[in-house]
Each structure stands twice: as structure tokens, then as C-alpha cells.
Chain A
Amino acid sequence: MKAKKALSRFLRWETMLIVLLVVLWLVFDAKDASLQAARIAKGRRATDIFNFTNMLNGMGPYLLYSFMALGMSLILGMGDIDISVGAIAALSASVMGTVYGPFKKAMSPGLALALALLCCVMTGAACGFLNGFLVTRFRELFPMIITLGTQLFYRGFCYLLLGGDTLQYKDDAAWAGLKKLYSGSVSIGGLSVPTMLIWFLLLALMFFVFLHLTTGGRRLFAIGTNRVTARYSGIRVDSFELCMFVICGVTAALSSMFYVGSVSATVRADAMTGYEMYAIAVAVLGGFSTGGGKGNIVGVVLSVIIFGVMKKGLGTVFGLPDSTVNLAVGLVLIASSVLPNLLEDLSNWRRVRRQHAEAKLS
């Protein structure tokens, strides 16, 4: 019995994610070592590309969609889906860029930037509210179709605000301060950790507490398991769902802030297309089933790290082009949603066979 318990613990999704992470790490490390050996054999200087410090330093760009993934896990946990997060992020960035110019003329740059950031978050919340409102009022259409529609609308709004222009903030002093805040790094115990990772871990901790230690989280999973039962047991399903959509919009706005502040320092109407795909893929790989009612934030954090390692490893160590990396992301998304079902089938089949055997014995 004890062995069986250990086996079931081993088969838990988070454990499998850790195993996957270790396997990926070993493969990339071995490939990297062989590359180094080849370089030394040719008489060139060896440069270690793939190691812990490098990975930690270069984590920044892979963390952008992780904020969205946290919001998306709430939505997936309720059995809904939100495809418009990429467009929400682009719209919040566009609003931030549009209001920053007039604000700067009126007041000091620092204050203007702070207000612009506030506008960005407010836009995200407003978009999330619209999504949630439509989803809860129009139950005949699935959340997917509604958010596909609002995505078109938000993206159109970006074009209305910016047209085809690109707003640039390369030599703006206040913006440089923002960049330092987002993409700098702090040294902890001799390692330089990107600040973005710390922001992300803080946010993830908040989500973990909410989802796994409060009644709010219990309600969310109850809604995800069975919406009707949840309603009859006294949960205000509609308003709760609306709140979750607002939170998802805010996380999208947060990741757009990081995108503008740290990675590109530009605002464009077609920025961040396809980020919703990454967000969904990270959340699904993290163990949030798309049917709702299941999931763990620890898994999401692990899968963010796995995605970072995978993209970095495939991109720099194996030197594959970007499209191949995208191929891998698509495959991981499909595989990670098929695998739990197949495992369940297997365990069901084993149980049935055992019961048959027991019936035969008696």
C-alpha cells in the first residue's frame, strides 16, 4: 500500500513537470558540453552558453507571458477561456503610450509616467470587465466565441489610437527609470536575479494564497467543477466570474507594462500578437485542465521555467530558428492536454482489470 501511495505521488503532475525539467536541462547541458568540446578541439576559446547563471539572467523575455498565464489559470480553473489577453495587453500599452505624451506636457515626467501606468492597468481592468460582462450575460455563446470577438474589437481600437505608428521611448529619462525598475537585476547571495523574476514570484505567491488557501479559490474550483451545483450552494457565480475576468485583464495589462518597459521600449498596434497562445500553453502545461476545476499554481510556475529553458535551449544551444521553437510550443500544448487523459484511461483500465481479477477469485 505504501508503495502504491508513493507511486501515485510520483504520478502527480507537478512531479512529472520536475522530471521533465531535469531531463530537458540534462539534454541541453550535454549538447552544450559537446559543443564546447568541439570548439576546444578546433582551438577556439570555449564559451559556456547554457548554465544556471546564464539561464537565470536571461529569464526576462520568457517571463512576459507568465503574468498572463497566472490570470489565465484563474479563467481555465473556472472552465472558461479568454483568447483576448494578447489584444488586451496591446490595447493597454497603446493607451499608456497615447496618454503619456499629453501628461508629460502638463506635469513632471515621473508623475506623468505613474499616471500613464495607472491608465494602463485601468484599461486592462476595463477590457476584462467587458469580457466578463458579455460572458456572464450571453451564456448561449461560449466564452471562446465572445473573447474571439472582443479580441478583434480591442485590436481595432489599438489601430484607431495609434494607426500604423510606432511610439518610441528610447531616450526618455522617466522611461529609463522604469526600465531599470523592470529589467534590472538585484544580487542575492552572489547571483544576479532579474527583478522581473522577483515580481513574478511575488505575484505567483499572491495567486497561490488566493487559489489554494482562501475560500475564493475553493469557490473558483467549485464553479469549474459544476457551475449549477456551485450556484445552488450559494456562490454568486456571475459576479465571481466577472471579477476573475477583471483580474485576468489586469494581469494582461501588467505584462504589457513589462513588455514596453523592459523588452522593446516601443508601442505598436500589432504588438504581442499570439501571446494568448503562450499564456494558455503555460497554464495547460502547468496542470490547469481546460475542463475546469483542477490545477495548481506551483505547476504554472514550474511550466514557466520549463518554457524558458526549452526556448533558450532550442534557440541558442541547438541553434534552431524561431519557427521550430513555435512548433515545439504547439506540440507541448497538445501533448500536455492529451497526456493526462491517456493516463486517466490507463488507470481506469487497470482498475477494471483488477476488479475483474478479484471477481474471478471470489
Chain B
Amino acid sequence: MKRDISEKTRQKDSFSLLSYVIEHREIPLLGVLAVLLAGVSIAVPGYFTGNYMNILKNCSMNLVLASGMLCVLLIGSIDISVAAVLELAAAIAGVLMRDGKIHTMIGMFAVGIGVGALIGFINGSIMSFGRVLPIIVTLGMTYLARALIPMDFILGMNKIARIDLTEYFKEFILHEYLGIPVIVYIAGAVAILMGLFLRYTRVGRSIYATGSNEEAARMRGVKVKWIKVLAHVICGALAGMAGIMRLGYYNAIEKGAANGQEMYVIAACVLGGVSVMGGYGKITGVVIGALMIATIDSAIPQLFMNATMMKEFFKGILILAAILLNVLMQRAANKRNLKGRDI
């Protein structure tokens, strides 16, 4: 009898590498990312060495948005208004800077985050207390935000251009410390803080609890409705922050500038193994997903001879294929898992 048990544990030990990989879905994802990078590097010699900083820069805005989206997806909700919120926050902060009301970096970020958080609060409250599907609320909010931008008191018929911004602001975002631009530091800090917040704080654990079983979480004393609002506030605030980052990166903003960005954000999350039903997902996966999107984005023009029209097509098809493939992989893993437990 004793031997039987020890045999079982030994079997479990030998099996543990595979189960570890299945538990931590980020590891195969990392492998896929490496294969992707290696493939493109072989097809286009000198691709990686010349481009890795571009990949990091491109992925940083997407990563900040995706960290916010992670929170929202974890509670089983979704926010497709992030691109519009980004534009609105950047437009308001840009106008304030143009009119000479803000001069400092911190002021810009405060305005952007404030605007985003306010819109996130409205989204979350309508979704949580009005019991409306999040997709409808955020679709409506996309329209509202895009309609607010051309109003006279915000942008009017103009757009924010290079001359409207202060020299310091333009310098700061792409200023390099130790060879790495500030924008990458910001994205890294956001990702790390989000990871710590979700893992080690009471509120962060409540977000997971709400997403995986709302009723159980409510019984345990989690204020489910307010957690939902909070997740939307975080998502909105990070979208506003990404708006300021974008303003510093491109030095311009206009209505519809980030059109379609929400899809890349959601794609980064889904590729990173975040469940859209809520309750499952990690920041490491999201980071890898965002890196994958940025790699695809920067590789396509190199592979297809700078055909911009082809780029949209292949980007769409690649992301769709990657998402579907991810689901198939997950199914295979689940099946294997169940088989291992004789179910």
C-alpha cells in the first residue's frame, strides 16, 4: 500500500513538467513569440537587431491599454471604448496645453488619467447599476466620446499638432535613459504595478473572485457592484494615460486617430490567455500578447515590401488566426488535463 502511494507521487513528479506548462499558459506563449521572432529574423536578415526597440516602443501604448482591459475582462465585462477615450483624453490635455493652462508633465498625465477615470466611472456605473450589457454601454460611449472631440469647447474643427505642445513634453516621452525610452519605462511600471495589484491586494483578489463566481464572491462579502465599477475606472484611467503617451509619441491627435485600436488591445489580452468569460488571466500573458501584436505589426511591412494596403489585410487575418489557434490549443490542453485525471 505504501509503495503504491509512493509510486503515485513519483508518477506525479515525472508528470509535473507538463502539468506545470499547462498550469502556466504563458510558457508556450513565450515559445510561440520566440518562434515568431526567429521566423521573421530568418526571412528578413537583421530584422531583430534593428527593430527590437521599435517593437518595445510600439507595444508600450498597447500594453498600458491592455493592462486596463485585463481588469475589465477579469470581471467578465468588456470595454470597446478605450480607443475613443484615448483620443478624448489626449485631445482635452492637448487643448489645455495649447491654451497655456498646463505646462508640466504631471499636469498632462493628471488631466488624461482624470478624464479617462471619469468616463470609466460612467461606463462602470451604467453597466453595474443599470444592468446593461457592457458592450452596449461602451459602444454608446465610443460614439459619445468621438462626438465630443469636434465640439467647439474641445477641439473644434482643428487638430492638435506639433506646434501646440511644449518642447519639454515632446522631448520627454522619447527621451532615453540607459538606452531605453521613457515610454517603455512607463509601460513596464504600469504592467508591474498591475501585476502586484492583482496578485497581492485585497481588491485585486476581489476582482478575480467577482469574475470567476459573482454569487460566491457576494456571499463572501465582496461588494461586487463596486468592484465592477472600479475595474472600469482603472481601464478608463489607463486609457487616458495611454492617450497622453500617444500624444507625446506622435505629437498629434485628431478625431478617429486611434480608430480600431480597441481590437488590438483585446487581441493582446486574448492571445495572452485571458478568458473573456472572466476570472482567468495574468499580466505576464498580456505582456507577451502585446509583444506578439507589436511583432506582427512591425514584421508585415518588412515581409511584404511595404505594401500598406496589404498590411491591413494581413494584420487582420493574422490576429484572427492567432486568436482562433489559441482557443484550439487551450481546448487540446484541457482535454489532456481531463484525460490525465481520468475524467
Give residues in A with beta carbon < 8 Å to B.
81, 134, 138, 140-142, 144-145, 148-157, 159-160, 163-164, 273-274, 277, 280-281, 284, 290-291, 321, 323-324, 326-327, 329-331, 333-334, 337-338, 341-342
Contact = CB atoms under 8 A, between A and B. Distances in A.
B131 A157 contact: no
A156 B315 contact: yes
Contacts of A155: 312, 316
Contacts of B330: 140
A334 B135 CA distance: 11
Contacts of A163: 309
Contacts of A140: 275-277, 327, 330-331
8 contacts: A138-B327, A140-B330, A155-B312, A164-B309, A280-B139, A290-B136, A323-B149, A334-B140
Interface in B86-145: 126, 130-133, 135-137, 139-144
B317 interface: yes
Nearest to A164: B309
B276 A330 contact: no
B185 interface: no
Contact of B147 (A145, A159, A327): A327
A323 B263 contact: no
A81 B80 CA distance: 14
A148 B324 CA distance: 13
Interface in B146-168: 146-151
Contacts, number: 128
User: Which of A134, A157, A160, A281 counts the most chain B CB atoms within 10 A?
Assistant: A160
Given A152-B260, A160-B309, A333 B140 contact: yes
A151 B319 CA distance: 12
A351 B80 CA distance: 37
A280 B149 CA distance: 22
B323 interface: yes
Contacts of A159: 309, 312-313
A337 B78 contact: no
Contacts of A281: 140
Contacts of B266: 145, 148
Interface in B265-298: 266-267, 270, 275-277
B303 interface: no
A148 B80 contact: yes
Contacts of B270: 141, 145
B44 interface: no
Contacts of A324: 147, 151
